[in-house]
Structure 1
Amino acid sequence: MTDSKNIHPGEPRSTYVLEPPPPPPPPVLDKPWREINWGDKQSTLQYVNDYKPHIEGRYLRILLHGPVGAGKSSFINSVKSVLQGKMCGAALVANIGGDCFTKKFTTYKIEKGNPSTFYPFVFNDIMGLDPSKGVLVDDIKLALMGHVKDDYRFNPERTLSEGDPSYNTEVSPNNEVHVLVCVIPADTVNQISQEVIRKVGEIRKAASELGILQVAVLTKIDEACPEIEKDLKNVYKSVYLKEKMEQFSADVGIPMNCIFPMKNYFEEIDLNDDVDSLILSTLRKIIDFGDEFINHKMNQSEG
């Protein structure tokens, strides 16, 4: 293009070439930034089946928390479905938005092989976090220490206190939480209020003071990214999802290697190998974190 502005007679005319805008970054990377063995879910399943805590009679307690509607109950159902090889729905799930569906402190055991045998880990589901209502942070702190009895109905207006029938005064090692899992919906991670982020940070600090290891699980990844919806194996190639994980990591301080994207079973009626692989990969990491905490506590007591 020739620019005719401010050109005087006899002066050479300047020619400017407008550079085309750079192409947008690709929605998926050529290579995944984190590896997962999609074709060998059986080895991970065997790892989970073979796991036993080093202390006889002990089991891992995994506490889930996060915003209302994040998919905590669906996470429990998804893990149970994979381990039992069929669709399960032990943890009730709401199919509409709004207030938190889970109201009580509930422990979920997963049967292993027959009704009298269970996996050596349990999940605790709790009321969701909310800017103005929902579970109180102080109640989650009590749950971390093992002071909340099963079936306690959370009161958004009042913290559980000593002397209440649901307050567990005598805490055994099996009452204590070994892994804290923050469940976050990837499709609305940008919309989480600063107040909820603050509460997550406060809970994280309390867990850190107790030495409890923490991970985060990003659910609804297929709803957050069209490329993942097309092919779940794009989960660690998705530029968008990696950015969301990095943003959440910066917001709450959970390292990237402790954040795991996952798709829960929700609408499906049959199991899928790729979904199973991602669920089992996440579960294995949670078990490893919990086992590390139990071993650390055991070494401290022996010392």
Structure 2
Amino acid sequence: MIKELKQFSLNDPDMGQLRILLMGQIGAGKSSFVNSIKSAISGRMATDALADADAGTSFTKNYKTHYIKDGKGRLPFAFNDIMGLEPNESRGVHTDDIVSILGGHVREGYQLNPTCPLTQEKPDYNSSPELKHRVHCLVRVVSANDLYALSDGLKHRLRTIREKASSLEIPQFIVMTKVDNACPEVKRDLRNIYKSKAIKKQMETCSNELGIPVSCILPVKNYHEETKTNNEADVLVLEAVTQIVHAANDYIWTLQQE
């Protein structure tokens, strides 16, 4: 699986990197997912994407790109991290900013402001984005523990973002984190994940709540307290990344045919 990702080639080599946007509630595990990807591919623990242990407020403030390296250089896919979503839009990332990011209008390093979304009049607004600036896959990161805690306001915002991504035909996935906390048998042995009725129920609930097919819901166990990688966690993370990058690659191929 690692070899396949390291040898992954783009349908359009001029793209440089596929751009995959991660979004989710505060504490869902976006930054930890990035670190888990880097750890699984490199074989050693990575902490490049800083994650807030408190998780009371969003640790990520800027629109930032996390590149994946293999020792020879960057792999042809990258992950963008943003502020966490909150029920109160005046605190977390603004829906309008996510919509602008999907279209490639937000420049790298822009500091997100929950109370003042980016507009066309501001210098950080990219009014003429190229295909490489746009999002090629949207990934919502959700915690298996928090599926029942989504407020109506947050569900509405997620629906707005999903509809915008759908109108752009951007592929969408859900990465479900903390699956080990949702089922004792999975906590005991991650290899039980696809045998677990509890995890299956969580995936079905997630599909119903967020409008994403079960086949596009990818359960993972992020590295959090571990000091060494292990095969069971790596396989789940690598399987998720493989599905995501192939869908993003198919998307840019489709756009070139139009």
Q: TM-score over 0.5 for the alignment?
A: yes
Aligned to 1:49: 6
Task: Confirm or deny that 1:165 pairs with 2:123.
Answer: yes
Alignment of 1:115-126 (within 5 A): 117-126=73-82
Q: What per-residue deviation string (whole Å, max 9, x for no partner) do you get for residues 16-53 of structure 1?
A: xxxxxxxxxxxxxxxxxxxxxxxxxxxx1111111111
Alignment of 1:200-215 (within 5 A): 200-215=158-173
Aligned to 1:70: 28
Contact kept, 8 Å, 1:216 with 1:258, in 2: the verdict is yes
SS at match of 2:142: strand
Q: What per-residue deviation string (whole Å, max 9, x for no partner) do you get for residues 200-248 of structure 1?
A: 1111100000110100000011112211110101111111111111011
State the AA in 2 paired with 1:57.
D
Contact kept, 8 Å, 1:61 with 1:121, in 2: the verdict is yes
Q: Quote the Cα distance in structure 2 between the aligned partners of 1:78 and 1:120.
A: 18
State the AA in 2 paired with 1:159.
P
Which of 84, 87, 96 lines up with 1:128 in the alignment? 84
Q: Quote the Cα distance in structure 1 between the aligned partners of 2:175 and 2:203.
A: 10
Structure whose alpha-carbon radius of gyration is higher: 1
Which of 80, 89, 99 lines up with 1:141 in the alignment? 99
Q: Quote the Cα distance in structure 2 between the aligned partners of 1:185 and 1:197.
A: 15
Which of 258, 281, 284 lines up with 2:239 in the alignment? 281
Aligned to 2:218: 260
Unaligned runs of 5+ in 2: none
Task: Confirm or deny that 1:89 pairs with 2:17.
Answer: no
Q: Quote the Cα distance in structure 2 between the aligned partners of 1:192 and 1:267.
A: 26
Task: Confirm or deny that 1:250 pairs with 2:204.
Answer: no
Aligned to 2:176: 218
TM-score w.r.t. the length of structure 2 is 0.96
State the AA in 1 paired with 2:121.
G
Aligned length: 255
Contact kept, 8 Å, 2:11 with 2:250, in 1: the verdict is no
Moved more, 162-171 or 96-105: 162-171
Q: What per-residue deviation string (whole Å, max 9, x for no partner) do you get for residues 232-276 of structure 1?
A: 011111111111110110112100000010011110000001101
Contact kept, 8 Å, 1:104 with 1:151, in 2: the verdict is yes
Q: CA deviation at 1:163?
A: 2.4
| Percent sequence identity over aligned pairs | 40
Q: Where is the helix percentage greater, Structure 1 or Structure 2? A: 2
Q: CA deviation at 1:97?
A: 2.9
State the AA in 2 paired with 1:48.
L
Q: What per-residue deviation string (whole Å, max 9, x for no partner) do you get for residues 255-303 of structure 1?
A: 0000010011110000001101111111110011101101101111xxx
TM-score w.r.t. the length of structure 1 is 0.82
Q: Quote the Cα distance in structure 2 between the aligned partners of 1:103 and 1:55.
A: 31
SS at match of 2:145: helix
